[in-house]
Chain A
Amino acid sequence: MNLNDVTEHAGEWLRGQGPHSDIVLSSRVRLARNLAGFPFVDHADRRQRQEVLDRCRAAITAGQFGQDLLWVDLPSSPDLDRHLLVERHLISRQHAAGGPESPRAVAIGENETFAIMVNEEDHLRLQVLRSGMQLDEAYTQIDHLDDLLEAKLDLAYSSKWGYLTACPTNVGTGIRVSVMLHLPALRLTGEIEKVSRAARDMRLEIRGFFGEGSEALGDLFQISNKVTLGRTEQEILSDFQNVVVPQITAYEQQARQVLARQRPAQLDDKIWRAWGILTNARVLGAEEVLSLLSQLRLGVNLGRIQTVDIRTINELFLLTQTAHLQKMTGCLMDQGQRREARAQLIRRRLGAS
Chain B
Amino acid sequence: MSHDSHKQSFISHYIFSTDHKMIAKQFLLLSIIMACLGGFMAYLIRWEVAFPNVPAPFFGLVSPDKFNAIITLHGTIMIFFVGMPFLAAFPSNFFIPLMIGARDMAFPKLNLASFWLTFTGAVLLVASFFVPGGPVAGGWVGYPPLSASSEFAGVKWGAALWILSLAMAFFSSSVGGLNYLVTVISLRAPGMTYSRVPMTVWFLLGSAVTFFFSVGPLIAGAFMLLMDNMFGTGFFLPAKGGEPMLWEHLFWFFGHPEVYVLFFPALGMGLDIMATFTRKPIFGYKLILGSTVGAITLSFIVWAHHMFLSGLNPVLATPFSITTILISIPFAIIIFCMFASLRHGAIRMELPFLWMVGFLATFLVGGLTGIFLGSASADIYLHGTYFVVAHFHYTLFPSVFFGGFSGVYYWFSKMYGRELNKKLGLLHLVLTFIFFNGTFWPLFRVGIGGMIRRIADPSFYPQYQQFANWNIFCTISAIALIASQAIFLWNIVWSMTHGPKAVKNPYDSNTLEWLADSPPPHGNWGAKLPIVTGDPYEYSKPGEAKDWRSQAQNL
Task: Say whether A associates with B.
Answer: no
Q: Which residues of B contact A (CB under 8 A)?
A: none
